[in-house]
Amino acid sequence: MPPYTIVYFPVRGRCEAMRMLLADQGQSWKEEVVTKDTWLQGPLKASCLYGQLPKFQDGDFTLYQSNAILRHLGRTFGLYGQDPQEAALVDMVNDGVEDLRRLCSHLIRHNYEEGKAQYIQGLAGHLKPFETLLIQNQGGQAFIVGDQISFADYSLLDLLLNHQVLAPGCLDPFPLLSAYVERLRARPKLKAFLASPEHTNRPVFGAQ
């Protein structure tokens, strides 16, 4: 049995970054897919610490909150920077990703038809800080922080891939971000995961 289990809805949502991380690190995991009907029945929701998914199991250790799960995996696999300053920058990047993820989630769930045009109009302003971080880190030729991949790279990659679906061409004004996405998705294990039915058949947006 794989040591890791992801309990979540049948969407990419808040779990695809951790799936990318696990796949790229050569790990296997089990999926426990929760349908809307099962969730609405109530017992599973009541059993979850915060009344929400994802739920992540690492052996007999259970963890909730998607960003806490990413940080746990970051520590486990040495994906948390090489010193305290890099670790702080990794946290900063992931917090920036979370800010935009929340805005995007709100758009999808509450205001898609009326708000999409305005959201896309303001998107460049939200993406520019990540381009700036790449400029400041070896001229954008490495990762988002330092010269080793971190959990924040998977989080950011997931966010950027989702936005390329939502707003094709949104990375065109950002050559370093565009190259960064192509560089990461070309990593052999990550490339295989992104081409797999497990990834491609899961809806991009859904219950989060």
With a threshold of 0.75, does the pTM exceed it?
A: yes
Query: Model confidence over 157-170: pLDDT tens digits?
Result: 999 999 999 999 99
Cβ pair 43, 34 in contact under 8 A:
no
Q: Between vectors from CA 56 to CA 15 and to CA 195, what angle results, nearest 5°?
A: 35
Cβ pair 143, 153 in contact under 8 A:
yes
- Looking at residue 171, its pLDDT comes to 97
* Domains and their CATH numbers in the chain: 4-79+192-201 (3.40.30.10), 84-187 (1.20.1050.10)
Query: Model confidence over 149-205: pLDDT tens digits?
Result: 999 999 999 999 999 999 999 999 999 999 999 999 999 999 999 999 999 999 987
Question: Which of 73, 59, 72 has its CA nearest to residue 21?
Answer: 73
- Looking at residue 111, its pLDDT comes to 84
Kindly give the residue spans of alpha helices, DSSP state H, lying in 25-174. Answer: 36-41, 43-47, 66-76, 84-110, 112-136, 151-166
Q: What are the backbone angles phi and psi of residue 60, rounded to the nearest 5°?
A: -95, 10
Query: Model confidence over 74-104: pLDDT tens digits?
Result: 999 999 999 999 999 999 999 999 999 999 9
Per-residue pLDDT for 35 more than 50?
yes
- Looking at residue 208, its pLDDT comes to 38
